[in-house]
Amino acid sequence: MVFSSPVFLFYFLPFVLLLYYACYRRIYWQNVILFLSSFLFYFWGEKEYSVLVMISIMLNYGLGILIAGPHTDTIKRIILFAGATINLSFLIYFKYYHFFVHELLSVFHIGSSETMSTAIHLPLGISFFTFHGLTYITDIYRTEAEVSRNPMNVGLYILFFPQLIAGPIVRYKDIDQQLTARVLTNEKLRLGVRRFIIGLAKKILIANTLGKVADDIYGLGTPHLTFSLSWLASICYTLQIYYDFSGYSDMAIGLARMFGFEFLENFNFPYSATSMKDFWRRWHISLSTFFRDYVYKPLGGNRVSVWATYRNLLFVFFLTGLWHGASWNFIIWGLFHGLFLVIERLGFETFLQRMPTWLRHVYTLLIVMVGWVFFRIENLEDCWNVLQKMCYLHPVSTGIYSVGYFMHFKTWLTLLIAILFVFPVHERFFPSFAQKAYWVYDVVYVGLFILSLWFLSASTYNPFIYYRF
């Protein structure tokens, strides 16, 4: 069940909201309703693998109580280490076992071909609910959050359906108070609905439209690609992944607000960044802050020697790439970003500061777009061929297809709108207008919702990109 499906929009969400608001000011029963509906939401897509989420909940609930107990700091560290190991073992087995066997052990001819060819089912959202379990026990160990003696609250934190499948990664210390005390208001409901509609429009109207163009072009194969088609596919995918994932985050934040929760922002116009360092302060903020606080800083961060800092950066971005998928292209994508962060730390950042702002934008976008090619194309040979086409180092093409074959009026219009709104244009033009005609906003949101439903009913749609991570 995805947020942009009719089942969710017209059956699941209205029914859950009706039950939830029927228990107004009864926080216990509201949590029960959210927990059961979240379990149903996950069971809808994963069936028997729902047991894995329940195991994660009970495991981390018990570990939290042990860590908060009257033990010495050494014992608590041992419990935390054991808990982190068990949590990560689930993730490593389901997400990376096949990769390690097929890609690493096959080099040494260890393991049968039958073993290496057998793929393991990847449970939906396993990266996200594993990280939630880790933040729960770690925040308790650091005394940054109070342990919960109520397994329902721990279960709701890990299982809450708005962020269960594709984030954002919600830190336990940011939500622990909201699990036991939150206020429902008409304003929160209204703002939540608005935010959800924005996310739905991003996904249905922009991401799906441009995603089809990118998929069709990449699906041609490199012999048919030209310089212009390669760049068009890259531009469309760059915009698709932003509107797809930020759209999901908007929907998750909006849904949480409808139920009285406040999630932190996950995107801050990353394509308006003026450096790679700035980009990672704006892109998937919950993931970058997770790695910063739970990996980078414990390794010493930038408090160690210069070269150790560079090592820590590269290691963190190696993990960032690996987190996205068990494939070499994701690892290369992560290290590619880490390399440019190191280059900027080596002194290029000072040079960037002397450049005109528009040139710094161009530099950042070019790096990001080249990186998305690694992210999008799993086969490294095909990836290299596409990059050669983009640099006009491999101009040979069949010439059968042209840009006009894929771009029509609707797609051109969508592309222009998508490019415009990756920048915070609303902050410059809309506030003064909103004070004079506030009701226009409601009309716009209703129009966006109707238009999204129209597009949804008129065409097939693809799942959210980050569902597979």
Give 467's DSSP letter: G
Angstrom distance (rounded) from CA 447 to CA 440: 10
What is the model's pLDDT at position 433? 52
Q: Which two tokens stand for residue 4?
A: 């942009």
Q: Mind giving me the DSSP string for 192-234? A: HHHHHHHHHHIIIIIIHHHHHHHHHHHTT-GGG--HHHHHHHH
Mind listing the pLDDT tens digit for each residue in 47-57?
888 899 999 99
pLDDT of residue 104: 64
The CA–CA distances, whole Å, from 138 to 60, 91, 187, 291 equal 10, 17, 34, 13
How far does Cα 403 stand from its chain's mean position? 30
Residue ranges per domain, the chain?
A: 6-182, 188-468
Query: DSSP alpha helices (H): ranges in 354-402?
Result: 357-376, 380-390
Per-residue model confidence (pLDDT) at position 113: 46
* pLDDT the model gives residue 210: 94
Q: Which of 98, 324, 394, 408 is catalytic?
A: 324
Count of other CB atoms within 10 angstroms of residue 102: 18
Integer Cα distance of 100 and 88 in angstroms? 15
The candidate with the shortest Cα–Cα distance to 372, out of 443, 300, 436, 321, is 321
* Mean model confidence pLDDT for the chain: 87
Q: Is 324 a catalytic residue?
A: yes
Tell whether the model's pLDDT for residue 16 goes beyond 90. Answer: yes
pTM of the shown model: 0.90
The residue ranking higher by pLDDT, 327 or 237, is 237
pLDDT in tens, 31-44: 999 999 999 998 88
* 463 confidence band (pLDDT: 50, 70, 90): low
Q: Judge whether residue 193 has pLDDT over 90.
A: yes
pLDDT in tens, 149-185: 999 999 999 999 998 887 788 888 888 889 988 888 8
pLDDT for residue 12 = 92
| Confidence band, pLDDT 50/70/90 cuts, at residue 46 | confident
